[in-house]
Amino acid sequence: MRLIAEPRDDYMLLQLNEDRLDAAIAIQFKDAARGLIGAHPGDVVLDLRQVGFLDSSGLGAIVAVMKMVPAPRVFSLSGVTDNVERVLRLTRMDSVIPVRNIEPDSAETISDEQAAQPRRA
Amino acid sequence: MADMTTSNDLLEQETHAPMLNRVIAAEPLAVRQVLIELADRLRPALEPEELAHLELALAEILNNIVEHAYVGTDQGLIHLSVVCSEKVLSCAVADDGASLPAECLAPRALPGAGDGDVKTMALPEGGFGWVLIQGLCQDLCYYRENDRNFLAFAMPLHLHASHKDTPQDVPKAPRKHRR
């Protein structure tokens, strides 16, 4: 399970370097994220650009990780692929998990819809 | 020369037949592996969204067997059969684990989420599996016989095909996937 933490200016980037976030790695992912988030007090962005498949176990793990970043800290996803977006939509979790797209070179793009999400000052 | 071409064509057809029949160990990595194999096999025959729906539905069904039907045992087998025809994909799954609780097949609602007013700490971390299965699968049926579970479903194919000949009288998308 390859999860890499990369501190940025105002958030921590968690990069999940796995092709699939599924039942086979959901628990390891959750445990690894807990360790990394515990060492960082600020916002967290989970980058899923490499993840081409998500199942309900993986989704449950994402929600569990989101809960490790309680308000006013902000948890968001980045690099949501088509298949991941589909699962978020089918389960309606797309309406509760913010997306904040982080480019690999740190340049950010935030869509109108997502700009309404709370951000740290 | 003509004979050779024919036998090559037949071989080609066998190798890339849009079907898959496998018996796998009931464990998460075996589930992952067979889904990858299935996707590779059916990719030429299905539209990307159809393949994604099949892979997701089967992931939920197979992982459910691993986690619930075979709970408490580290041994168990799952038999999976998938066949594509021109208009429909048929799938059957069998296992020798515990029976499927009736409530899994009863109409279900999404676990509390999605109205935009849910507190983060109250968000559900599970309960999505059967909602997804029910939403993605058509003609879902289950029966148990001689301590064996059988689950079968279908998925209509090429509902949105633009590259295929579509007769005028075909009803529009007879069944939509639940959203």
How close is the nearest chain B Cα to the Cα of A103, in Å?
Answer: 26
What mean pLDDT is predicted for residues A22-27?
Answer: 98
From chain B, pick out residues whose CB is under 8 angstroms from the CB of A20: 32
Residue B66 DSSP class: I
Q: What is the mean pLDDT of residues B96-107?
A: 93
Q: Do B56 and A96 touch (CB under 8 A)?
A: no
Q: In the predicted model, what is the mean pLDDT of residues B73-94?
A: 94
Please name the residue that has the structure tokens 């980058």.
Answer: A47
* Cβ count near B118 (within 10 Å): 15
Distance from CA of B52 to the nearest CA of A (A): 7
The residue type of A94 is: D
Q: Please tell me which residue of chain B has the smallest CA distance to A62.
A: B125
Nearest chain B residue to A61 by CA distance is B125
User: Inter-chain contact B123–A23, Cβ cutoff 8 Å?
Assistant: no
Q: Is A55 in contact with B60 (Cβ distance < 8 A)?
A: yes
Which range (A18-22, B99-103, B123-127, B152-156) has the least confidence?
B123-127
- Does the pLDDT value for residue B1 go beyond 70? no
pLDDT for A97 beyond 90:
yes
Chain B residue numbers touching A89 (CB-CB < 8 A): 179
B29 pLDDT more than 80: yes
Q: Do A23 and B28 touch (CB under 8 A)?
A: yes
**Closest chain B CA to residue A65:** B125
Q: What is the mean pLDDT of residues B85-113?
A: 90
Q: Per residue in A47-86, pLDDT tens?
A: 999 999 999 999 999 999 999 999 899 999 999 999 999 9
User: What's residue B14's pLDDT?
Assistant: 54
Q: What is the pLDDT of residue A19?
A: 98
Among A59, A67, A89, the residue with its CB nearest the CB of B128 is: A59
Cα–Cα distance for residue pair B74/B129, rounded to 1 Å:
22
Q: A interface toward B at CB cutoff 8 Å?
A: 20, 22-24, 53, 55-57, 59-61, 63-64, 66-67, 70-71, 82-83, 86-87, 89-93, 95-96
Run of H or E residues at B135 = helix B129-136
By C-alpha distance, the chain A residue nearest B39 is A53
- Which residues lie closer than 8 Å to A32 by C-beta, 6 or more apart? A1, A3
The pLDDT of B83-100, averaged and rounded, is: 95
Q: How confident is the model at residue B162 (pLDDT cuts 50, 70, 90)?
A: low
Q: Tens digits of per-residue pLDDT, B6-16?
A: 555 655 555 55
A94 pLDDT exceeds 90? yes
- Check residue B107 and give its pLDDT: 85
- Would the CB atoms of B116 and A96 count as touching at under 8 Å? yes
The predicted pLDDT at position B173 comes to: 46
Contact, A42 vs A120, CB < 8 A? Answer: yes
Question: How many other CB atoms are there within 10 angstroms of residue A109's CB atom?
Answer: 10
Mean pLDDT of B168-175: 46
| Whole-number Å distance between alpha carbons of A5 and A8 | 10
As a whole-number percent, the residues of chain B with pLDDT over 70 amount to: 76
Compute the average pLDDT of residues B157-174: 54
Q: How would residue B110 be classed by pLDDT, with cut points 50, 70 and 90?
A: confident
Closest chain B C-alpha to A69 CA, distance in angstroms: 9
**Taking the alpha carbons of B108, B114, B115, B121 in that order, is the dihedral positive or negative?**
positive
Residue B157 pLDDT exceeds 80? yes
Q: pLDDT confidence of A119, banded at 50, 70, 90?
A: very low
pLDDT band for position B63 (cuts 50, 70, 90): very high
For chain B, what is the mean pLDDT? 84
Contact flag B31-A60 (C-beta cutoff 8 Å): no
Rounded to an integer, the average pLDDT of A89-103 is: 92
